[in-house]
A and B are shown apart, each in its own frame.
Chain A
Amino acid sequence: QVQLQQWGAGLLKPSETLSLTCAVYGGSFSDYYWSWIRQPPGKGLEWIGEINHSGSINYNPSLKSRVTVSVDTSKNQFSLNLSSVTAADTAVYYCARREHCSTTTCYPFDSWGQGTLVTVSS
């Protein structure tokens, strides 16, 4: 049974960089893409970006200029950096996994972290 455990700073000032890390316990690390997804208070879900064990990365074009996702395979961890944050980046941030796409289909997010509330305020 896989578990995703995430952590990071919960209060930032405008223009600072958001940093979160997610550790994966159990299951295979190499068979999946590892994503970051956020949810502003009272709103819906927005996919931010993803990485796999070999460092292949995909970003949401709307956030690409400010996002960096990285992986540490020695620790089965992956991280998110979001630069130049504003109040609009206030959200609960989740890590999640999805299986690699096959030749015929892709897969949804089947396991999620517990979420981290990040508040941006001066």
Chain B
Amino acid sequence: EIVMTQSPATLSVSPGKRATLSCRASQSVSSNLAWYQQKPGQAPRLLIYGASTRATGIPARFSGSGSGTEFTLTINSLQSEDFAVYYCQQYNNWPPWTFGQGTKVEIK
């Protein structure tokens, strides 16, 4: 099983600033890495797939990078609606599909 490790657990950022979230895989997942956003009481929403491709309707301030074992989600100019929990997920090796433990982006 591939273990996904996200850091930090919590990120405090001021509105309008940039947030940088990290995700590390225990072995290479190539570019088969997705990012999801989850707000309280809601299901996760797909943001990024293929490590760097934005899903339909996702604003350009969200960007992803990386390959192999190291990945980054960058959120530029944080808006109020961006404060949420973000999860990475690998879909390179299965079963099982595995998720990171999440990074909470909170208002500083």
Which chain A residues have a beta carbon within 8 Å of chain B's beta carbons?
A: 35, 43-47, 58-62, 94, 96, 98, 105-110, 112-115
Contact = CB atoms under 8 A, between A and B. Distances in A.
A106 B95 contact: no
A90 B16 CA distance: 37
Interface residues of B, number: 25
Nearest to B55: A110
A45 B99 contact: yes
* A-side interface mostly: loop
B66 interface: no
Contacts, number: 59
A45 B91 CA distance: 14
Interface of B: 1, 32, 34, 36, 42-46, 49-50, 55, 87, 89, 91-92, 94-102
A40 to B, nearest CB: 12
Nearest to B1: A61
A62 B101 CA distance: 17
A106 B92 contact: yes
Contacts of B89: 45, 108-109
A111 B101 CA distance: 20
Contacts of B92: 106
Contacts of B55: 110
B52 to A, nearest CB: 13
Most chain A CB atoms below 10 A, which of B36, B46, B96: B96
